[in-house]
Amino acid sequence: MRYYITERVESMAPYSFYISLAFMIGAVCTAIIIPLIIAFCRKFGFYDQPNERKVHHAAIPRLGGLAFLPSLGISFLTVLLIYATSTDSLGSFHISAAVMVLGACIIYLIGLLDDLLDLHATTKFIIMFVASAFIPLCNLVIGNLHGLFGIYELPLWVGYGLTVLVIMTLVNALNLIDGIDGLSSGISIIALCIYTYCFIDLRNIVFSVASAGLLGAVVMFFFYNVFGRVGRLKIFMGDAGSLILGYVLSYLSIKYTLVCEHDIYTEVNPLLLPMSIFLVPVLDLIRVALTRLMAGEPMFKADRRHIHHVLMSAGLSMHQTLCIILGLVAGFIVLNLWLEQAMVPLTVIFLLDLSLFIIFFVVVYSVVHRRESMTEMITE
């Protein structure tokens, strides 16, 4: 085992240059593109206006996510061309990768149109469904739950439906949690760091470069979004950005699971990392949807029930809320990896995560109710 680990680490070393290059190109491209987007938004008046549901109090340019796809494409193609000139082991491209690009372009376009024209939720849902259906049609299908709830191999038709459901859930989860500075991009940074490392470990240069290129783009956007000054270089992601992040990350998650299934040296359950990374945004999406349905409200109605709204209602600042949610995401990942090493079954891990998530909200809501009670007493 010691020999294998040493060999594995040495085999990862040649990739470090290409990964670093992909990251830097993605970051530089975004650093160049975002000021151009800000100038465009100022010229044509494309701002995210404050209202009673949003936490910002000034008009902010909202098209920052438009930089993601071009930055990813430039870094990915450039690095792979450089890699191809120095080695003949690039590997083959499967049709699923080409179809993912087509689906990503559709998602990117629908996000842009939504940012500009404010499309109806039903229209976005239908187009997202079509784009999500492309991936399983190319046999990139979730066909095994690896013991979750005692389920392993799935019938093909169930796998197709589950794959589409997973993609749409992840896309919408990252889109709807994008309510404060750095939240959706912060979760994406955590996910992309993990997938960059995992694909390097699996000796898959294509997807490690793709992950690193997008990581560079999102990290640079994070600095503009969180640390940029209002009226100068501050910008929001917009639906184009959050939707494309959700789509690409869902593709990488499914691809990682399938590659991991066939790697004889991988000891971690293939579903553990994807489940852990997106646990918080997905559970929050389900919680909000169920709350709306129980209240007799439309499931897609915009409100202030998401996790960041609740934490800010408990008295936390925006940056404190961001740190707590990102810490919660990282905490679940570390906890679940530790439980996996302790040979805890995947179903038990999920149920423990769900219990901790519920306890977290019970505590937070108790703080919110206490603050509301004190405010009523003071006003009386």
At what angle are helices 346-379 and 318-341 packed, to 10 degrees?
Answer: 160
3-state secondary structure of 227: helix
Spell out the residues 6+ positions from residue 374 whose beta carbon is closer than 8 angstroms to its own.
none
CB 183 within 8 A of CB 177: yes
> Residue 246: what residue type?
G
Spell out the residues 6+ positions from residue 318 whose beta carbon is closer than 8 angstroms to its own.
55, 180, 181, 312
What's the pLDDT at 5?
39
What's the pLDDT at 347?
96
What's the pLDDT at 359?
96
Spans of all domains in the chain: 2-269
What's the pLDDT at 68?
95
What's the pLDDT at 13?
60
The CA distances from residue 264 to 30, 61, 147, 252, 276, in Å, are: 38, 48, 18, 20, 22
CB count in 10 Å sphere of residue 137:
14
What's the pLDDT at 93?
54
Determine which helix (DSSP H) or strand (DSSP E) holds 47, and give its type and residue range. strand 47-48
pLDDT tens digits in sequence order for the chain, 380 residues long = 333 334 444 455 668 889 999 999 999 999 999 999 999 998 888 887 776 666 666 788 888 999 999 999 999 999 988 888 877 655 555 666 667 778 888 898 888 888 888 777 788 888 888 888 888 877 789 999 999 999 999 998 999 999 999 999 999 999 889 889 899 999 999 999 999 999 998 888 889 999 999 999 999 999 999 998 877 889 999 888 999 999 999 999 999 999 888 776 677 899 999 999 999 999 999 999 999 888 888 777 777 889 999 999 998 999 999 999 999 999 999 999 999 999 999 999 999 999 999 999 999 999 998 887 776 666 65
CB count in 10 Å sphere of residue 347:
14
83 burial (CB, 10 Å; 0-12 / 13-18 / 19+) is buried
Spell out the residues 6+ positions from residue 78 whose beta carbon is closer than 8 angstroms to its own.
21, 22, 25
Q: Give the integer Cα–Cα distance in Å for 30 and 238.
A: 15
Q: Give the integer Cα–Cα distance in Å for 92 and 217.
A: 25
What's the pLDDT at 379?
61
CB 226 within 8 A of CB 199: no
The model carries a pTM of 0.92
What's the pLDDT at 4?
38
Q: Give the integer Cα–Cα distance in Å for 372 and 366.
A: 10
